[in-house]
Amino acid sequence: MTTAEYNKCVDDFSDSVYRFILKNLRDEDKAKDVVQDTFEKMWVKAADISYPKAKSYLFSAAYHTMIDMIRKDRRQTHFDMVKPEDHSHTEQYNDLNEILHHALNQLAEDQRSVIMLRDYEGYSYREISQITGFSESQVKVYIYRGRQHLKKYLGRIEALV
Amino acid sequence: MDYLDGEMSPDQVIRLMSFLKENPDLKTELEEFEEINIEPDKKIFESKITLKKRFVVNDSNFDDFCIASLEGDLNEEEATLFQNWLQENPLKVKEFELYKKARIIPEKITFDFKSTLKKSSGGRIFTPKVWGYFSAAASIIILIALYIFISQPGANENTVISEIITDTTTIETKPQTSPEPQTKTEVEKENIPFNKPGDSKQQKIKLRSNNIIEKPVITQDVNIVPDKSNRLTKPVTIELTLNKIRLKEINTLPEKSILVALVPVKNFEVFENTYSGLTLSQKAVKSFKSEILMEEKDKINPDVLTLWDIADAGIRGINKIIGWKMELDKEYDENGDLLALGFDSNIISLYHTMNK
């Protein structure tokens, strides 16, 4: 990959990688760090990565960096540091997308990641499998379970309305 | 039976036939067997279709069909079947609509720091984190390089590093019978021609060097006394400075002395003349630039020693060690201001842009 191609990757994919990570981590600073690290990793391996494979590499590297960060944070989070308001919803929903994103936040990490890769980026089961390291069957199961959860959540909200 | 089933070898068949010739009654019996031939009939199983699996949509797999439909996992036949089933079950249509709504629509989120990720076409830019690693590596390189240069000052075994004549002192080894405690003196290994005990004759001190200047070691116990009968009563150590030997009542060799001793000068008097009128630090800088960086002495600015110079020395050292041809480059803008520092080799090319 040439420098020009690398810079094109920055233009083309940094938004989507950032969005993917931000929606998972819900922390702008951490998301920025992950994006920085991810692009640095790609730059280091630029000679081995062709431009067509760059997007997949970026998402894969970002995903694994994010998982490492989540695990690290999980180890460092003590029970008394958990704020109940972070895990409850008190705001009013303005539109369907807002409801959906709240529902998305309630999904398990694996389900959320694969659904976002599917819906945001339109990746196939196989591509998601390559990015996340899950088997295709696992990806399919996570997507099915995630969709069922989202649908149930929407159904409950609609019933309330 | 084996013959009829074709299981016999040619030899066995030949032997069987000869046997049958001798026993015609058995041959007749075999021929009766040969007449029995069952032909397969052409009947078919007409209920094959009942055995085939068919896609059936029902309440239990409705969710699967909904999701598979949204994910594009259904083939044409299955999609048609599902659509037909939905038409027959209008109550399920609303549920399917919920599934349709459960697709996440991407938000317009942009990464506003793209410029920090981009690389210049000249080479690689290090983030502070990566630059930190590089700095650590560079430090090691510099140490190695200094070691290499210092250990090869161009001096052969007999090269005089410095020849120092003191105007006011003589050195005399302390008589073994002295009642005072003997002091360890840090001078040059093995080469100081101290007099034998009792010999107080004024003399020159010559410090000689082997190819490798080793850490100063304690070699002799001496007592240094001022000239003309001003004999010191206390043990002292020698402090080497750039231009003379002084007597001090201290027990350790100052760091400056070591630095001076490390300067690869073939003749100390020449060194003196070359760097006369300069401060110690200026002498050190000028010596470093001329001896290690091979700069022309007339053009050396002794007041400035940049990190660039140190890094350059490090790279030269590495080249010397491993035979690479690495270079450090500078890039300037139109105004002559430094834009970037670079490190170029056949293997890697690294650049660091300078903060404005």
pLDDT tens-digit series, residues B21-56: 888 888 888 888 877 777 777 778 777 766 766 667
- Confidence (pLDDT) at A129: 93
Chain A residues within an 8 Å CB radius of B99: 147, 151
Evaluate if residue A14 carries a pLDDT over 60: yes
Taking CB atoms and an 8 Å limit, are A97 and B101 in contact across chains? no
Going from the C-alpha of B210 to that of each of A90, B191, B253, B256, the distances in angstroms are 82, 10, 20, 20
Question: Which of A42, A62, A53 shows the shortest CA–CA distance to B119?
Answer: A42
Of B107, B116, B121, the CB nearest to A19: B107
B38 inside 8 A of chain A by CB:
no
B356 inside 8 A of chain A by CB:
no
Q: How far apart, in whole angstroms, are the C-alpha atoms of residue B196 and residue B179?
A: 17
pLDDT digits (tens, 9 = 90+) for B77-89: 888 888 888 888 8
**Most A CBs within 10 Å, among B63, B101, B113, B353, to test the A interface:** B101
A32 inside 8 A of chain B by CB:
yes
Chain B residues within an 8 Å CB radius of A22: 109
Averaged over A92-120, what is the pLDDT? Answer: 82
**Helix, strand or coil for residue B343?**
strand
DSSP letter at B4? Answer: T
ipTM above 0.90, yes or no: no
Averaged over B58-84, what is the pLDDT? Answer: 86
B92 inside 8 A of chain A by CB:
no
B124 inside 8 A of chain A by CB:
yes
How many Å lie between the alpha carbon of B51 and the closest alpha carbon of chain A?
Answer: 28
**Most B CBs within 10 Å, among A10, A28, A114, A152, to test the B interface:** A10
For A146, name the nearest residue in chain B, comparing CA atoms only. B102
Averaged over B326-350, what is the pLDDT? Answer: 65
Going by pLDDT thresholds of 50, 70 and 90, the confidence category of residue B230 is very low
Task: Report if pTM > 0.90.
Answer: no
Where is average pLDDT lowest: A57-61, B178-182, B291-295?
B178-182
Instruction: Give CB contacts under 8 A, 24+ apart, made by B226-233.
Output: B226/B168, B226/B169, B226/B170, B227/B166, B227/B168, B227/B169, B227/B170, B227/B202, B233/B180
B107 inside 8 A of chain A by CB:
yes
A147 inside 8 A of chain B by CB:
yes
**Most B CBs within 10 Å, among A105, A144, A156, A161, to test the B interface:** A144
By CB atoms closer than 10 A (0-12, 13-18, 19+), residue A161 is exposed
A42 inside 8 A of chain B by CB:
no
DSSP letter at B124? Answer: B
How many Å lie between the alpha carbon of B290 and the closest alpha carbon of chain A?
Answer: 37
Averaged over B223-240, what is the pLDDT? Answer: 43
Count Cβ atoms below 10 Å from residue B72 Cβ, excluding itself.
Answer: 9
Going from the C-alpha of B60 to that of each of A125, B66, B157, the distances in angstroms are 24, 12, 95
Taking CB atoms and an 8 Å limit, are A3 and B113 in contact across chains? no
How many Å lie between the alpha carbon of A53 and the closest alpha carbon of chain B?
Answer: 18
B21 inside 8 A of chain A by CB:
no
Going by pLDDT thresholds of 50, 70 and 90, the confidence category of residue A139 is very high
For residues B8 and B2, is the Cβ–Cβ distance under 8 A? yes
B81 inside 8 A of chain A by CB:
no
Of B71, B104, B127, the CB nearest to A100: B104
**Most A CBs within 10 Å, among B61, B94, B104, B130, to test the A interface:** B104
Going by pLDDT thresholds of 50, 70 and 90, the confidence category of residue B176 is very low
| Residues recorded for chain B | 356
Residue B60 structure tokens: 């239990």
Residue A148 phi, psi (nearest 5): -60, -40
Averaged over B288-314, what is the pLDDT? Answer: 77
Taking CB atoms and an 8 Å limit, are A3 and B121 in contact across chains? yes
Averaged over B202-231, what is the pLDDT? Answer: 42
B347 inside 8 A of chain A by CB:
no
Count of CB contacts below 8 A, A vs B?
Answer: 88
Q: Which residues pair with B186 in a beta bridge?
A: B218
Of B67, B101, B124, the CB nearest to A154: B101
Averaged over B338-348, what is the pLDDT? Answer: 62
Taking CB atoms and an 8 Å limit, are B104 and A158 in contact across chains? no
Between B277 and B161, the higher pLDDT residue:
B277
Averaged over B333-343, what is the pLDDT? Answer: 67
Evaluate if residue B354 carries a pLDDT over 70: no
Q: How far apart, in whole angstroms, are the C-alpha atoms of residue B322 and residue B276?
A: 37
Taking CB atoms and an 8 Å limit, are B117 and A19 in contact across chains? no
